[in-house]
Structures are given as structure tokens and as C-alpha cells.
């Protein structure tokens, strides 16, 4: 219990640090749009991270101790051998910080980004070079450098990576919130990603996201592996993003976590028209693709082998995304994806037949109904689909012909007027329910109003509509022990006295109005 309290306290301190940093950074934003400002702030955080990591390695090489005897601290190959980015002199944070108050700091930062890309080919065309823009106040930019200079003070690369990584992730979320609908295009809220990852448990293997945004699914997968005493190279990530600006955010997000992003690809055409990983069979797939996408290239790919369960309609790509992912799922793979609630019940343009075929193929493992207001870019109610090729067992119990339905639509809490998120307890409750249901020795039980395991005949009875509310029913209301007849007598008596009181009040209001010359 002490460990849990310590962890909770530490998380609270971290959240306060991140919140204070963002508030301070936001004050320096002035008249710059949030969509533009995020590249400035996140670019500087990334620069601070690679410079900190470089300096730690530089110190080790300079010491000449043990494995580093005879090493040259100014040899780029020494750093590449340790998977550390080489940072040339003019791009090192100490140099840039010393020039933070100079009028040329914007040009200095752009030149630093150019130099880093030149010496590190994996970062080519990734880093922002916007600091010399005339609409950026250079005094505010210098103050922002001062602010970021105080993050992750110390000499441990791991400490720097952890703190700067958390700050980068927190800032991504805050910028997504500030940008509203546009923000949702590059960021899936943390609590949803955490729930998806906790449910499919990507311990080891290939992790794929065909609409990867800023890379949150990969980062959370890496956290899951490390929290279960695994190593960062236990998983390899594969992804694709059609928005180049968002792709750059993803590559920086992965690099700051030490995750190899070389298999995360960008192209304008997107995953449907130009699949960057045509031969990939992934062990885990996590994705939050665009909801109800209507212009997705149907006419170009209508004869594609991916549409094994039916041709998706031209005006809605929901089942196109689902079948694209199923196509890339390994023989024992599992996947989690976010879709609009319409995917659970729509019978338009053949969607009902596609859903039926996927259910009959025994691929659907679990459906989770989500609450409203979880996403920044849409108010459309959403759900999670969990697809599995491990339903014959493979370490779990055999559950062919069954689907677990979870209704989490009333869970979570409002963090502001328009946004809701799951608590850690919510995530644990939902994920644990799924794991208990899946486990050979699990203690799963149906809970009215929350979860129910339904067999295929029942799903067929509902004509393959997969809305959890149809299966879990309404939550049981606690019996207060008062007999019905007695309760009705009490309630009607109370109502009668309230109605009599209302008549008296209405008469008094009419009386007072008449005194001042108004009749009702």
C-alpha cells in the first residue's frame, strides 16, 4: 500500500510540474496561434532532450574510464554506436542558452535544427525550423529557453528522458485541447490510449498503428513494456501518417523516448491508397482512425484483397479501417481500435453484412461503449473494438462463439466543461474485467448494467447489432426494503402537500402583484 501511495504522490507532483511549465510557456505565447506555437515549444523540448543525452555521453567519453578508454568525445561515431544523437557545437543547449537574449536567437535555433538534421540522417526533414519567423517575439523566445533550461536538471540521461518525455506528452495534450477539433487529428487522449494498451498488453513483438498521429499508441506501449520489467527493444513499432506536420511530431515523440521510429512512414496518399507496410503481420494493432471518413479512395481500391469480409461503402471508411487492420494482424495477433458508435449498428450500404461476417468469423472479442466528451475533435459517441486471433486459447481460455460487452458510457469524470477522461480506477476496472473474462482461471461474472458475456445465438437474435447496452441491460437498483404500496402512499401524500403549498404560494404572489397594480 505504501508503494501505491508513493506512486500516487509522485504522479501528483509530476502533474503539478507539467501544469506549471505549460502555464508559464502559454503566457509567453502572446499572439501566436496554438497550432503554430506547439512546434516552437515541442521543438525546443526535443532539442533540450537530445542535447542532455549528448552531454551525458560526452562526459563518459571524456572521462576515458573502462569501456571508454581512448575514446574521442568529439567523434560522432562514438555517439552513434550508443544510439545517441550527435549534436554539433553550435546546436548544443548550453551554447544556445548562452545566446537566448540575443536578437539572432531565432536564426541560431533554425541553424541548430539544420545542423542536427545534417549530422543525423534519421531526423532529416523532421525538426521544426520556424524560430526566425518575424511574428515570434524574440524576448519571449529567450524566456521560453530559460524556462525549458530548468527542466530535468541533473546528470542522468534516464532522468532527463523520463521528465522531458512526460513534459512533451503533456504539452501535446494541452495543445490538442487548445486546438479543439484540429487537435484531435494528431492526439488521442491519454486515458483512452492507456485503456487500449492495458487491455491488449503488448509485451513483445510488432506493434502497428496505420493512423499513428503523434505516436501516442507507441509511447504507451513502450511504457507498458517497461512497467512489466521488459526492455524497450522487446517491441518494434510500425506506423503510417498522411499529415506531414503530425508525422514530424510523432518522430520527435518517439525519439525523445528512445523508440526506433524508422518504420513509421509518411506519405500523402495514406494507408488505404499507399500501404507503407504491405507485408506486415503485426502482433498488436492499436489505432484511432478518422471517424466516418467519406473520401477515402473507394474507387481506386475497390478490388483490394483487404476487403475479405465485404466491400466498405464509398461514403464511410469505418469498416475499411477495420479490415485493413485485420489484414495486417498476425495469426495470434490482437488489436484495439476506436470507431464511431454507428459501426455497432449501422446497416447502411452493406455495413451490417460486413459486421455480421466479422462476427461469424469469430474475430470479435470485446466491445466497450465509451462515454461522451472523451475526444477533442468530435462529440460523436465512440466505442472500442477488440479483435483477436487468439480466441482458441493460446494461454487464455477458449472463448469461441462468445463476445464480452462492456458499457463504460457513464464512467469517467469531467476535467473541464467540455472534456471527460477516465480515472486510473476506471481504466483498471474495465481492463481487469476483460482479463478476468479471458483468463482460464478468471473470476469473471456478468454485472447488470456494466458487463455481459454473450454467445453467438444471442447476437444473432439481435441481428448482429453490437451495442453493449442491448446486452448488459440497466444497472440494478438497490432495494430500500420499503414495500411498494407503502412507498406509493408516502410519495402521493408528499405530492399532495406540495401541490397545496404551491397553491398558497401562487395566491400570495397574485396578492402582492395586485398591491402594486398588476393582475394575473
**Strand pairing category for 413-414 and 420-421:** antiparallel
Residue 1 confidence (pLDDT): 34
Q: What are the angstrom distances between the C-alpha of 158 and each of 12, 75, 135, 225, 237? A: 20, 23, 36, 16, 21
Cβ atoms of 337 and 318 closer than 8 Å: no
Q: What angle do CA 282, 255, 12 make, to 5 degrees?
A: 95
Q: What angle do CA 115, 116, 119 make, to 5 degrees?
A: 85
- Bridge partner list, 468: none
CATH homologous superfamily of domain 184-472?
Answer: Vaccinia Virus protein VP39 (3.40.50.150)
Residue 4 confidence (pLDDT): 41
Closest CA to 219 of 270, 164, 271, 268: 164
- Report how far residue 15's alpha carbon sits from residue 195's, in angstroms, rounded to the nearest whole number: 19
Residue 14 confidence (pLDDT): 55
Q: Taking the domain 15-179, which CATH number applies?
A: 1.20.1260.30
List the chain domain ranges.
15-179, 184-472
CB atoms within 10 A of CB 256: 25
The burial class, CB within 10 Å (0-12 / 13-18 / 19+), for 129 is: middle
Q: What angle do CA 221, 227, 228 make, to 5 degrees?
A: 95
**Strand pairing category for 264-266 and 235-241:** parallel
Per-residue pLDDT tens listing for the chain (520 residues) = 333 444 444 455 556 667 777 887 887 787 788 888 888 998 998 999 899 889 989 999 998 888 888 889 999 999 988 889 999 999 999 999 999 999 999 999 999 999 999 999 999 999 999 999 998 889 999 999 998 887 764 444 445 556 777 788 888 878 777 776 555 567 788 899 999 999 999 999 999 999 998 899 999 999 899 888 888 889 999 999 998 988 998 999 898 888 999 999 998 899 999 999 999 999 999 999 988 999 899 989 988 999 999 999 999 999 999 999 999 999 999 999 999 999 999 999 999 999 999 999 999 999 999 999 888 666 778 999 999 998 887 778 999 999 999 999 999 998 878 788 999 999 999 999 999 999 998 899 999 999 999 999 999 999 999 999 999 987 665 566 678 788 888 889 899 989 989 888 888 888 888 887 787 7
- What is the signed CA dihedral for 332, 338, 341, 346, rounded to 10 degrees? -50
C-alpha cell at 86: 550527435
pTM (2 decimals)? 0.83
Q: What are the angstrom distances between the C-alpha of 343 and each of 292, 349, 364, 404? A: 9, 12, 13, 17
- Report how far residue 152's alpha carbon sits from residue 159's, in angstroms, rounded to the nearest whole number: 7
Closest CA to 404 of 472, 319, 334: 472
Q: What are the angstrom distances between the C-alpha of 28 and each of 106, 145, 383? A: 15, 11, 38
- Report how far residue 331's alpha carbon sits from residue 308's, in angstroms, rounded to the nearest whole number: 15
CB atoms within 10 A of CB 71: 17
- Report how far residue 222's alpha carbon sits from residue 204's, in angstroms, rounded to the nearest whole number: 10
Amino acid at each position: 500500500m505504501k508503494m501505491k501511495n508513493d506512486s500516487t504522490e509522485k504522479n501528483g507532483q509530476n502533474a503539478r510540474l507539467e501544469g506549471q511549465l505549460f502555464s508559464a510557456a502559454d503566457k509567453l505565447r502572446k499572439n501566436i496561434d496554438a497550432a503554430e506555437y506547439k512546434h516552437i515549444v515541442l521543438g525546443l523540448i526535443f532539442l533540450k532532450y537530445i542535447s542532455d543525452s549528448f552531454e551525458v555521453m560526452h562526459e563518459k567519453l571524456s572521462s576515458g574510464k573502462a569501456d571508454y578508454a581512448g575514446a574521442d568525445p568529439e567523434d560522432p561515431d562514438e555517439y552513434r554506436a550508443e544510439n545517441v544523437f550527435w549534436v554539433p557545437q553550435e546546436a548544443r543547449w548550453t551554447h544556445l542558452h548562452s545566446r537566448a537574449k540575443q536578437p539572432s536567437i531565432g536564426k541560431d535555433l533554425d541553424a541548430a535544427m539544420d545542423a542536427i538534421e545534417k549530422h543525423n540522417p534519421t531526423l532529416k526533414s523532421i525538426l521544426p525550423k520556424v524560430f526566425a519567423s518575424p511574428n515570434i517575439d524574440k524576448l519571449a523566445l529567450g524566456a521560453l529557453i530559460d524556462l525549458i533550461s530548468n527542466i530535468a536538471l541533473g546528470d542522468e540521461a534516464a532522468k532527463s528522458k523520463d521528465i522531458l518525455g512526460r513534459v512533451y506528452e503533456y504539452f501535446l495534450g494541452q495543445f490538442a485541447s487548445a486546438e479543439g477539433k484540429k487537435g484531435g487529428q494528431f492526439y488521442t487522449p491519454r486515458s483512452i490510449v492507456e485503456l487500449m494498451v492495458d487491455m491488449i498488453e503488448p509485451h513483445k513483438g510488432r506493434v502497428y498503428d496505420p493512423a499513428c498521429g503523434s505516436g501516442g499508441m507507441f509511447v504507451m506501449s513502450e511504457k507498458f513494456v517497461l512497467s512489466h520489467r521488459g526492455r524497450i527493444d522487446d517491441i518494434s513499432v510500425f506506423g503510417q501518417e498522411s499529415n506531414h506536420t503530425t508525422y514530424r511530431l510523432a518522430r520527435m515523440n518517439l525519439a525523445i523516448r528512445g523508440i526506433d521510429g524508422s518504420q513509421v512512414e509518411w506519405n500523402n496518399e495514406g494507408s488505404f491508397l499507399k500501404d507503407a507496410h504491405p507485408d506486415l503481420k503485426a502482433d498488436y494493432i492499436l489505432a484511432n482512425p478518422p471517424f466516418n471518413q467519406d473520401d477515402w479512395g473507394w474507387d481506386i481500391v475497390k478490388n483490394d484483397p483487404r476487403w475479405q469480409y465485404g466491400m466498405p461503402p464509398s461514403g464511410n471508411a469505418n469498416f475499411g479501417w477495420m479490415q485493413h487492420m485485420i489484414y495486417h494482424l498476425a495469426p495470434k495477433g490482437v488489436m484495439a481500435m476506436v470507431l464511431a458508435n454507428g459501426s455497432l449498428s449501422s446497416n447502411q450500404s452493406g455495413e451490417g453484412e460486413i459486421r455480421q461476417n466479422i462476427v461469424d468469423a469469430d474475430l470479435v472479442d470485446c466491445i466497450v461503449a465509451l462515454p461522451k466528451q472523451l475526444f477533442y475533435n468530435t462529440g460523436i459517441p465512440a466505442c472500442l473494438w477488440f479483435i483477436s486471433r487468439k480466441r482458441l486459447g493460446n494461454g487464455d481460455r477458449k472463448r469461441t462463439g462468445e463476445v464480452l460487452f462492456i458499457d463504460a458510457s457513464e464512467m469517467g469524470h469531467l476535467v473541464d466543461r467540455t472534456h471527460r477522461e477516465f480515472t486510473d480506477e476506471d481504466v483498471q476496472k474495465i481492463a481487469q474485467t476483460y482479463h478476468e473474462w479471458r483468463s482460464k482461471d478468471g473470476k469473471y461474472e456478468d454485472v447488470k448494467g456494466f458487463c455481459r458475456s454473450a454467445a453467438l445465438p444471442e447476437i444473432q437474435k439481435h441481428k448482429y447489432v453490437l451495442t453493449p447496452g442491448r446486452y448488459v441491460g440497466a444497472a440494478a437498483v438497490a432495494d430500500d426494503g420499503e414495500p411498494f404500496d407503502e412507498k406509493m402512499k408516502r410519495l402521493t401524500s408528499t405530492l399532495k402537500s406540495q401541490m397545496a403549498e404551491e397553491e398558497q404560494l401562487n395566491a400570495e404572489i397574485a396578492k402582492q402583484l395586485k398591491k402594486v397594480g398588476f393582475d394575473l
